[in-house]
Amino acid sequence: MDISGSVALVTGANRGIGRHFVTQLLERGAKKVYAAARRPELVDLPGVEVLRLDITDPASVSAAAEAAQDVTLLVNNAGIATFTNLVDGDPARIRQEMDTHFYGTLGMVRAFAPILGGNGGGAILNMLSALSWFSHDGANAYSAAKAAAWSLTNGVRLELRAQGTLVTGVHLGAADTDMMAGYEGPTLDPADVAGAALDGVEAGRWEVVVDEWSRTVKASLAADPGLFYAL
């Protein structure tokens, strides 16, 4: 996938990693970047085409796909963190996590897959998480939703291979974004995350594991899970 000359659409483009995706896509020579957000008035980046988009609203997704028929790179970056557990957490907040990370991402893939195919194949980049691979008490709804999104990514990759669409999943630990405000551990620079993800797309990689913590988590899957949670 050659980003230079591509037409990209980035969800959740108004802040955090999404904002860095937009700026780096332009720096790498993208011909056009659609910067999509639920509140488009918050997108203040020059040189972009702003779209109103709520990925949990099928009508909004359809409208975005209709407006962006030239897309060759879809960056599914939009996400939420409700910090909700599964057993005693608010079911509406658990459902919100799934509606965003699983059904919202799937809706975007389904809407844009024919567009990408018609434009030569292109690529889809799904922002996932190290929490795709482990659970954390206090955020188990997020873990479950990201695990579902990881499986979704692996599945649609196989389904879209025949039309030449690359599907790349990106896993990372905590990044220094508004979503992680108050987190006291080490955080990644969101610019570095966006750069690693785009490098992976250009290299044709199926998966990008950004940091050493995420690589450690993934490696633990081959062992007894009790060993990991004893750390």
Tell me what pLDDT residue 186 has.
76
Sheet holding 73-76, edge to edge: 49-52, 32-37, 7-10, 73-76, 123-127, 166-171, 207-209
Identify whether the C-beta of residue 84 lies closer than 8 Å to the C-beta of residue 139.
yes
Tell me what pLDDT residue 130 has.
95
Q: Return the CATH number of the domain spanning residue range 7-229.
A: 3.40.50.720
Identify whether the C-beta of residue 20 lies closer than 8 Å to the C-beta of residue 191.
yes
Q: What is the pairing mode between strands 49-52 and 166-171?
A: unpaired
pLDDT tens digit at each of 231 positions of the chain: 899 999 999 999 999 999 999 999 999 999 999 999 999 999 999 999 999 999 999 999 999 999 999 999 999 999 999 999 999 999 999 999 999 999 999 999 999 999 999 999 999 999 999 999 999 999 999 999 999 999 999 999 999 999 999 999 999 987 666 665 565 667 779 999 999 999 999 999 999 999 999 999 999 999 999 999 987
Q: What is the DSSP letter of 104?
A: I
Q: CA–CA separation, 155 vs 149, rounded Å?
A: 10
The half-sphere exposure of 147 on its side-chain side, counting CA atoms within 13 A, is: 13
So where are the chain's domains?
A: 7-229
